[in-house]
A and B are shown apart, each in its own frame.
Chain A
Amino acid sequence: DGGITQSPKYLFRKEGQNVTLSCEQNLNHDAMYWYRQDPGQGLRLIYYSQIVNDFQKGDIAEGYSVSREKKESFPLTVTSAQKNPTAFYLCASSIRDNQPQHFGDGTRLSIL
């Protein structure tokens, strides 16, 4: 079955450590997105990519980085510069920008 796979489901970060969240899709979608979800705040866009080797900052990109070397993969790195990283992170993809986005099951990141 086609879909979006996020791993790991749970992740713990130590102070000063960078961590990378994986997102893989086999839907052959061009566009991919990373969102952060905090309780009561809905989803906020971190980064998005419309095509391989290109990506744009979203509304809350500070402290995060991404890469898009392959169409099916869009990993997110939470750097030590992100001072409040505890959140639920969701990856999504769509055929094109203005089509419905399909979501993975998320990664919950916590601080040790």
Chain B
Amino acid sequence: AQSVTQPDIHITVSEGASLELRCNYSYGATPYLFWYVQSPGQGLQLLLKYFSGDTLVQGIKGFEAEFKRSQSSFNLRKPSVHWSDAAEYFCAVGSGMDSSYKLIFGSGTRLLVRP
């Protein structure tokens, strides 16, 4: 069965520091992978997606993610964090292969930014 693991429940970084949020997935074929961000009391906003091709994908707000098939990972990175990046981040995997397609979400990583 498909699954997504975000091993870090909370991460705290200083403003201006680099960031990496981890995501590991379990899926037999090539997955469709997504990162979403959620501010408190709001819906989810898509940061970036990977469907195929170049394994390093660029997203909005200066975020990027790298698909590593050998490690079943899709980690999210940002070179310099801003205070406005404080939010909860969700990794998700989709099958895209059958009529019962759906997204499986990880449990999220809450990012705190120190001034």
> Which residues of A are at the interface with B, using a C-beta cutoff of 8 A?
4, 6, 33, 40-45, 48, 50, 56, 58, 90, 92, 97-98, 100-106, 108
**Residues A42 and B107 in contact, CB atoms below 8 Å apart:** yes
Is there an interface contact between A50 and B42, defined as CB atoms closer than 8 Å?
Answer: no
Is there a chain A Cβ closer than 8 Å to B13's Cβ?
Answer: no
Interface residue? B74 (CB, 8 A): no
B107 to A98, Cβ gap below 8 A? no
- In the complex, the answer to whether B9 meets A100 with C-beta atoms within 8 Å is no
Instruction: Tell me the chain B residues, 88-107 only, with Cβ under 8 Å from chain A.
Output: 90, 94-96, 99-103, 105-107
**B interface, size bucket:** 20 to 34
Secondary structure at the A interface, as helix, strand, loop or mixed, is strand
Residues of B within 8 A of A97 (CB): 96, 99, 101-102
Which B positions have Cβ atoms within 8 angstroms of A? 9, 32, 34, 36, 41-46, 49, 90, 94-96, 99-103, 105-108
Q: Whole-angstrom distance from the CB of A73 to the nearest CB of chain B?
A: 17
**A103, B44: Cβ atoms closer than 8 Å:** yes
Question: Can you list the 3 inter-chain pairs with the closest CB atoms, starting with the nearest?
Answer: A98-B96, A103-B43, A97-B101
**Complex formed: what's the CA distance from A44 to B34 in Å?**
16
Q: Are B99 and A50 in contact (CB under 8 A)?
A: yes
A42 touches B108 (CB 8 A): yes
Contact of B106 among A4, A42, A102, A108 (CB under 8 A): A42
Given contacts A40-B9, A98-B96, A101-B103, contact A106 B41 (CB under 8 A): yes
- In the bound complex, CA of A62 to CA of B87 (Å): 31
**Cross-chain contact A42 with B105 (CB below 8 angstroms):** yes
Residues of B within 8 A of A42 (CB): 90, 105-108
Q: Is the CB of B101 within 8 A of A40?
A: no
Instruction: Give chain B residues whose Cβ lies under 8 Å from the Cβ of A40.
Output: 9, 107-108
Asked whether, in the complex, the Cβ of B49 is within 8 Å of the Cβ of A90, the reply is: no
Give the distance in Å from the alpha carbon of A33 to the alpha carbon of B36 in the complex: 16
